[in-house]
Homo-oligomer: A and B are copies of this chain.
Amino acid sequence: MRVTIRTVLSDLMGNMERIDGTVDTLKPGNPDTEITGIITAFCATQYVVERAIAIGANLLITHEGVFYSHHETSEWLKSDPVYHAKLTLIERSEIAIFRYHDYWHRHTPDGIMVGLLRELEWSAYVDEQQPAATILTIPAMTVSEAAQYIKRKLGISYVRVAGDLSQTCRHVGIVVGYRGGGTMAIPLFNQHHLDLIIAGEGPEWETPEYVRDAVHQGRSKALIMLGHAESEAPGMKYLAEILAEKYPMLPTCFIAEQPIYQLV
């Protein structure tokens, strides 16, 4: 059976309301192209693009952009050799790249969040799925134990923690990606009486400074920063599982990347 990019994209967008100014575009790519294989990934890194080509997949679905910017404005990169080498590789390969960011987050519930909760095996502990956050009641454990558990489940080598490691946590909020910023994360602490927020990424002078002050005031608040990719890659892995089930005739897989930072 012939499956075109248009068919898969129409599945991914479902019956969702159009999002104005969305970054979710097919670029490059022709919707009428017959799919030879699908790769999902957190980001279309040079390595991921090369792997997709080597595997023979011609549809790459990624969460973040190709050129180091959320809005993919590449004007400022026009004289950059790294940009040109990557662009040339993509153009010559005839691979199609679809960015699945806004619509995957806008799913009910957020597909990226579902993927993370599955990986953490915490889906059963969810109290409330909000559009941009999930509220859970987990079995009581210390912040240190929670960090160790998360590292083990996500297969990551470190997390960054603000707050007291020995504090017990039970009421937990999760925000993925760049939703770890102050206006997004801080109000959750009090609205839901949270002990712990688990986030992807956010400015260092916002939520962790709030947690620092809260702890200094004698309050039980902690923050575990996973890393942006660490918080969102599971959602793209989950997407590959969904697509593989829906299109068993197409080779479909998720490609993992190395952590973006090494610690020294």
By a beta-carbon cutoff of 8 Å, the part of chain A in contact with chain B is: 43, 45-47, 50, 64-65, 68-70, 76-77, 79-82, 85-86, 144, 147-148, 151, 158-162, 165, 178, 182-183, 186-187, 190, 201, 203-210, 212-214, 216-217, 219, 221, 224-225, 227-229, 257-258, 260-264
Q: Are B203 and A160 in contact (CB under 8 A)?
A: no
Asked if B209 contacts A45 (CB within 8 A), the reply is: yes
Interface centre among A47, A186, A258 (most CB of B within 10 A): A186
Q: Are A187 and B76 in contact (CB under 8 A)?
A: yes
Q: Which of B69, B158, B213, B219 contacts A45 (CB 8 A)?
A: B213
B208 touches A261 (CB 8 A): yes
10 sampled A-B residue pairs with Cβ under 8 A: A45-B209, A46-B213, A68-B205, A70-B203, A80-B187, A82-B210, A162-B260, A178-B203, A201-B203, A204-B228
| Complex: A160 Cα to B204 Cα, angstroms | 14
Bound-state CA distance A69–B210 (Å) is 10
Q: A186-B68, A214-B82 are in contact. Are A260 and B228 (CB under 8 A)?
A: no
Q: Chain A contact residues: over half helix, strand or loop, or mixed?
A: mixed
Give complex CA distance A225, B76 in Å: 22
A-B contacts besides A69-B182, A80-B187, 7 pairs, CB < 8 Å: A68-B207, A68-B209, A81-B219, A82-B219, A160-B262, A160-B264, A178-B203
Nearest residue (CB) in B for A63 is B205
CA distance A80 to B210 in the complex (A): 11
Among B147, B162, B182, B264, the residue within 8 A (CB) of A159 is B264
